[in-house]
Amino acid sequence: MDGDLHRKMEITNVTEYQAIAKQKLPKMIYDYYASGAEDEWTLQENREAFARILFRPRILIDVSKIDMTTTILGFKLSMPIMISPTAMQKMAHPDGEYATARAASAAGTIMTLSSWATSSVEEVASTGPGIRFFQLYVYKDRKVVEQLVRRAEKAGFKAIALTVDTPRLGRREADIKNRFVLPPNLTLKNFEGLDLGKMDQANDSGLASYVAGQIDRTLSWKDVKWLQSITTMPILVKGVITAEDSRLAVENGAAGIIVSNHGARQLDYVPATISALEEVVKGAGGQIPVFLDGGVRRGTDVFKALALGAAGVFIGRPVVFSLAVAGEAGVSNVLKMLRDEFELTMALSGCNSLADITRNHVVTEADKFGVMPSRL
């Protein structure tokens, strides 16, 4: 879809892209991006939990100048809103990961490239300068992993986001019904030369079969140590939702934590990431930054995450849906809308900079139960 048509559609918020993407994409592809695991309880909860957090705005504060800049792992960003790894973006739009990389770079923020991208680390690097992280799945063949990590480092990627919640693929029933498989014109580009770039048609989900065959179920904390021994890139552990694992991440040398339930696509009935965030932040004890991934659709969501201790947030589905609708312009627009909404939320809450956002600016369900006097 070209820019003119994109403008005529008068998209006023991030969520509106999803319905348009649904009309535009083949069912198998839309369902792959949109669905969650099993009953999709956590998928719904990732959004609904944000709606139960309310604001305590402060008034009569000079908010004529708002500064949203932040530093993540030493990199200066225009805002604390970054792009999560999402797989196979060329299914959404022919430009795929190229478009996402350009939009992120233009917005002054970080893109995380999926291991299962339909563009390689080298191709994404060729789009020009930008701060990029690489999401890693650990394959059974460690030589494959080592080679991939070295390629990402050589291509200028700045950190590894190690996904730790996927020893097996979650049960995504839409993919089973649709017999999901990567369309024949596309490959998992990072694995193309290793004969691991194609996904076979299966009698359930082709991706689930691929994961069962290739991804290492023995992955443990010792492998986090091993990764540190083969790369100088900092390692972010993606998929932590408890304080216990947060402490272990710190002990095992992680440079940061991404609180994530994999977009509610792995274990159903885990809490929303925004509900797990404070626990994980407490577990990390201020030693390493904690980021939130999952359910962010509004600038108000970004503010709530920062108030509860996140150093920044990552967005996933809004990127693929806007990419499907309008390519690079769509992704740029999503980043702009979230940025503008977040800036407005800061102003209306009485915050000039990220450092001004405190726990006192929000009230959660837990606060209501703990703080309100008993009515009994």
32 is in an annotated binding site: yes
Neighbours of 340 (CB within 10 A): 11
265 is in an annotated binding site: yes
Strands 54-55 vs 362-363: parallel, antiparallel or unpaired: antiparallel
Residue 167 CB-half CA count within 13 A: 4
Helix locations, 86-216, DSSP H:
96-106, 121-125, 142-154, 173-178, 206-214
172 is in an annotated binding site: yes
85 is in an annotated binding site: yes
269 is in an annotated binding site: no
d(C-alpha 37, C-alpha 270), whole Å: 11
- Which runs of E-coded beta strand occur in 124-255? 132-136, 159-163, 235-238
d(C-alpha 240, C-alpha 165), whole Å: 8
317 is in an annotated binding site: yes
297 is in an annotated binding site: yes
**290 contacts 312 by C-beta, under 8 angstroms:** no
**14 contacts 83 by C-beta, under 8 angstroms:** no
State residue 346 phi and psi, 5-degree precision: -60, -50
93 is in an annotated binding site: no
282 is in an annotated binding site: no
135 is in an annotated binding site: yes
Longest CA span, the chain: 67
33 is in an annotated binding site: no
Instruction: Tell whether the torsion through CA atoms of 6, 329, 302 and 121 is positive or negative.
Output: positive
316 is in an annotated binding site: yes
86 is in an annotated binding site: yes
What single DSSP character describes residue 286?
T
96 is in an annotated binding site: no
d(C-alpha 70, C-alpha 311), whole Å: 9
**343 contacts 78 by C-beta, under 8 angstroms:** no
163 is in an annotated binding site: yes
Residues designated catalytic: 262
DSSP per-residue letters across 92-111: T-TTHHHHHHHHHHHTT--E
DSSP per-residue letters across 297-326: -SHHHHHHHHHTT-SEEEE-HHHHHHHHHH
168 is in an annotated binding site: no
Which residues sit in the known binding site for FMN?
85-87, 114, 135, 163, 238, 293-297, 316-317
Which residues sit in the known binding site?
32, 85-87, 114, 135, 137, 163, 172, 238, 260, 262, 265, 293-297, 316-317
Which residues sit in the known binding site for glyoxylate?
32, 137, 172, 260, 262, 265
